[in-house]
Structure 1
Amino acid sequence: MDSYFRGPLWLILILFTLPHVTYNMSCPSSCMCFSTGAVKCVGYTITDIPDQLPAHTYLLLLNDTNMNVINEQSLANKRFLLRFSLTYSHLHTIHPQAFHVAPQLKSVKLSSNNLSTLPAQVFSPLTTLQQLHLDGNQLEIIAADMFDGLVGLQDLDLSRNKLADLASDVFDGLTNLTFLNLGRNFIKKLPPTIFRSLTKLRQLVIYHNELEVLEAALFDELVNLEELKIHHNQIASLPPQVFWSLRNLEILTLSSNQLQAIPEKTFYNMPKLSKLTIYNNPLLSLPDQLMGHMPEIKEFYLYSTNLTTVPGNLFANMSGLQTLNLHLNDKLRDLPSDLFCCLPHLLKLSLKSNNLHYLHPQLFSKLTTLGILLLNNNKLENLPENIFSSNTALKSLTLSGNPWDCTCRIRGIARWVRHNEHVVVDKEDVICHSPVYQLLRTLGSLRDEEFNFCTATRVPSNSPTHSDVHEPTQPFHSISTRGQRSASTTTPPMTTSSTTQGATQRVTIPATTKPANPTTLGAKKLLTSLHTVTTALPIEEPLPSTKTHSTYYMSPPFYDLLVVEQGPEFVHHNFHRGWVYVWFLPSDKTLAGFLMFSHILLVATGLSLILFAMYGMYRLNKTIDKLKTECAHYEG
């Protein structure tokens, strides 16, 4: 039984194996041949297309070879070959008849070679050609009739050459072209009718050229265009309505040009747009009517400009926006309060590295889906406490690199940061820049009880107005009084305004004792030294009833720190019988200069005396050594 089946099994195995053995035996050296009909040849030993290829080869890839010329017989006898690629091989010459022997080719790739010229109509025999790549060569001129007869061409890549000018009719007849790449050349201007035949074009790439202008009717016939990339050029202005015919456009890149202004309604009639970039342009302003209805847009990039603000309705027609990069605008100082009103699906918003000083409390209130918000590296000193109350989906927030002013106004946002530390990803770098007594503290380390003295109060008619009692916003002079506190009950602070020789000073004094009778000797001394003093009473408490009608109210002793806003240059205080006496001395430039000169003179004199004494000691030591030597000599 075994011998009965053994013969047919071996026969079947031989029949299945024989075609593969025969195929591998016919594969040239330096090549890999695949049963699918693809052949790949690599190496400098290859100087021409191998003659002995498997009969059914339809794809031939030659890479890194020493083949510099395609002669008139290189592609002969390859009637099944449909796709031919010769790349990175220093190819510099193509025979005018090279493709006459292979008219069946559908794809020709000659990328990354040294072609500087092409014979006239060299590709014309390829009437069924669909793909032609000539990128990465040294081509400076494309003849007007170069693509004659290529009515089936769909994919044309001319990028990374040295093209500076193109004839207006160079693409005429390419009515089936869907992809055209002219990027990374030296094109300065495109004729207004150059794309008139490309009604089926879907992708047009013209980036990294030297275009200075776009003709008004340049894109009028590209009614099916889906992607237009014209970034990294020198375009300084746009014609009105230049993109209006592109109703199917999905991607538009205008970044890295020289645009200072954009005409009104430039981006109208593009309802399918999903990505728009206009960053890295020296834009000075944007018109109120700029963006048309584009509900499909997902990404918008507007950064590295000279904008100081943007229209409040800029994003009003972008309801589908998910990523908005509005950063690196070092002059962008203000944002309209309703700027982000109509972005219900926004997931990421970048406002980092701008010049923002203030954000409206309701700025982010409609961004209920926002997950990432970047506010780092601005000029923000404070934020409203409830500015993020609506952003329940927020997972990542950056706040570092801002000059946070950790005075009373910071209390609310510091509390929010403390309760949402998991959201603030750079919390260790969100630090106080002022005042000096809070310097380098993180916002998360500030506690509510540190701001108990911040609450405002009502004052009587003969006391300072509310506008006179406010949180200091200028740099402070700070005097430590550590170890001189009274152990009495704590009361809120009082704010003292004083006028000395026409200059106004505000002293914020957190108190530890209740106000004393202003008729005491201490009060008299303080009032005399200040010349004129008006004092607000403790916070959030009504003015206590008093029988005295004195204009002045005495501030109580304070905590460890006396804070003087824009105060005098010289402050002195002493503690006596439970009272702190503060003496202000007005500055005098002449006196200050004299004192400084005297100080320097005294220091210089002291140093001179020290040096003289050291020299004297040196001389004395030398004399003593000499005497010792002489004495030893005489004794010997």
Structure 2
Amino acid sequence: MLLFAEELLQQHLTRMNILISSSLMILLSLCGTSASCPSGCSCNVNQTDCSDLNQLASLNSILDRLPLNTSYLNLSKNNFTIVEPGSFSNLRILTYLDLSRNLLSTINHGSFSNFSGLLHLDLSRNLLSTVSPSSFSQLNNLEFLDLSENVLVRLPVNMFSDLGSLTELVLRDNRLKELNPDQFKGLTELRRLDLSLNSLISMPTHLLDGLQNLVWLSLVGNKLRTLQQTTLEPATALQHLLLDGNPWNCNCNLIPLKHWLEWIMYTGGRVDSANCSSPSNLHGKDLRSIPMEMFRHCYPLYLETRNPSAAEGHQVPAEPAGDCIRQRYRPVSVRRATATVVVAGVVCGVVCVLMVVTATYGCIYATLVANEHQQLTHGNSQQQQPLMVAKEPEQDEKEDLMPTIGKGAEATECVGWMAFPPEVCV
């Protein structure tokens, strides 16, 4: 009986656990979802894809039916024309939002309020022409912002001032004609900035101030004719610079930029081509490969622009300026370098002196050898001459002797005559 009571109690507890578990699951599901997944959307855990719905539904009608635990939301390729303030206020854990390829024309204040956790925001390929100065004021953790392929002509000065965590900003393919010097103030963590395919005619001097982490910058396809070195110098970490597609005027004012580009490439950075449009003798040539000899006529002007005392009207001594030119601008051709010319002159002089000395020594040596050879030849000829020369008999004596030679008795007398005086030989 006792055992039966224990079994009943255990069954009852098991049923209670099942009921409690099911109740908790229902409560959790109700807390995590405000409604079912909108029609045409794909909901998977915390990711919702409502792209290319092909219907005239309003943005709010879709947002009202999204699960509250959505962290990834894709709303691209629709016909949304406006983002009303507070539209995404219920999606507090949203981290990724894609609103590209819509018909948005304006971003108002508060459109992305209460989005402290948003990390990625894509507003590209819309019709944005106006953006409120405080449109992104509450996106403190935003890391990626894409505003490319819109019709933006001007940007509010403090538009990005609160995006302290932003690492990549894309403003490609708009209609920007100018930028304020404080345009990117506060973007201390920015690493990539894309300003390509706009209509920029100049870059403010202090535009990149404070962007000490910027490593990639694109200015491709603008209308830049010149660019100051002082504009790029604050970006101390810059390693990739794209300048192609601009009508660069390669005059004297572009010399500092040329030096800066050479320094970036020397330190391992990458710079694409910067082809000159003017003057005519440099048309089509890459600024990076033009030798400094082509800018010799710019040296005095360049010194005046860099010397603050000259800018204030003070006279600069001519000799120090000349020394500065020789020290700062070394000719590209080594054959024309001053030190090379001096060394070559000294070497040539030494070689010429050695050649003269060698020729003189050769002449003297040849003269001495010839003289000694002549003396030796004369001495040998004297040694070969006999000391005594036999005297030939006179003609009369030859005639007297001719008959006596060959006779027997007379020959004996002749012999004796030759040995003794004639009076003895009778």
TM-score when scaled to structure 1? 0.40
Distance in 2 between residues matched to 1:176 and 1:302, nearest whole Å: 31
Q: Is the 8 A contact 2:92 2:115 kept in 1?
A: yes
- Alignment match, 2:296: 449
Q: Mark the CA change 1:356 to 1:446 in structure 2 (over 3 Å): closer, same or farther.
A: farther
Q: Is the 8 A contact 1:417 1:443 kept in 2?
A: no
Q: Any gaps of 5 or more consecutive residues in structure 2?
A: 1-21, 306-312, 317-426
Matches within 5 A, 1:36-435: 175=33, 182-183=40-41, 202-212=46-56, 214=58, 216=60, 218-220=62-64, 222-329=67-174, 331-422=175-266, 425-427=270-272, 429-435=273-279
Q: Is the 8 A contact 2:53 2:78 kept in 1?
A: yes
More strand by share: 1
Q: Mark the CA change 1:153 to 1:270 in structure 2 (over 3 Å): closer, same or farther.
A: closer
The letter of the residue matching 2:299 is N
Q: Is the 8 A contact 1:214 1:238 kept in 2?
A: no
Distance in 2 between residues matched to 1:383 and 1:307, nearest whole Å: 23
Distance in 2 between residues matched to 1:175 and 1:453, nearest whole Å: 73
Structure (1 or 2) with the larger CA radius of gyration: 2
Q: Mark the CA change 1:234 to 1:385 in structure 2 (over 3 Å): closer, same or farther.
A: same
Q: Is the 8 A contact 1:180 1:205 kept in 2?
A: no
Moved more, 362-371 or 448-457: 448-457
- Alignment match, 2:390: none
Q: Is the 8 A contact 2:138 2:162 kept in 1?
A: yes
Distance in 2 between residues matched to 1:394 and 1:215, nearest whole Å: 40
TM-align CA RMSD: 3.6
Cα displacement string for residues 382-406 of structure 1 (whole angstroms, at most 9, x for unaligned residues)? 1111112122211211111111011
Q: Is the 8 A contact 1:400 1:426 kept in 2?
A: no
Report the CA distance between 1:263 and its aligned residue: 2.3
- Alignment match, 1:462: none
Q: What SS is found at the alignment partner of 2:217?
A: strand
Report the CA distance between 1:411 and its aligned residue: 2.0
The letter of the residue matching 1:406 is C
Q: Is the 8 A contact 1:181 1:204 kept in 2?
A: no
| Number of positions where the alignment pairs a residue of Structure 1 with one of Structure 2 | 282
Distance in 2 between residues matched to 1:266 and 1:288, nearest whole Å: 12
- Alignment match, 1:74: none
Report the CA distance between 1:217 and its aligned residue: 6.2
- Alignment match, 1:586: none
- Alignment match, 2:409: none
Q: Is the 8 A contact 1:455 1:540 kept in 2?
A: no
Q: Any gaps of 5 or more consecutive residues in structure 1?
A: 1-127, 129-149, 155-171, 185-197, 458-469, 471-538, 543-636
Distance in 1 between residues matched to 2:86 and 2:31, nearest whole Å: 27
The letter of the residue matching 2:215 is G
Q: What SS is found at the alignment partner of 2:107?
A: coil
Distance in 1 between residues matched to 2:249 and 2:142, nearest whole Å: 38
TM-score when scaled to structure 2? 0.59
Q: Is the 8 A contact 1:296 1:318 kept in 2?
A: yes
Distance in 2 between residues matched to 1:179 and 1:213, nearest whole Å: 15
Report the CA distance between 1:275 and its aligned residue: 0.1
- Alignment match, 1:577: none
Report the CA distance between 1:424 and its aligned residue: 5.8
Relative contact order, higher structure (CA 8 A, sep 6+): 2
Distance in 2 between residues matched to 1:417 and 1:174, nearest whole Å: 55
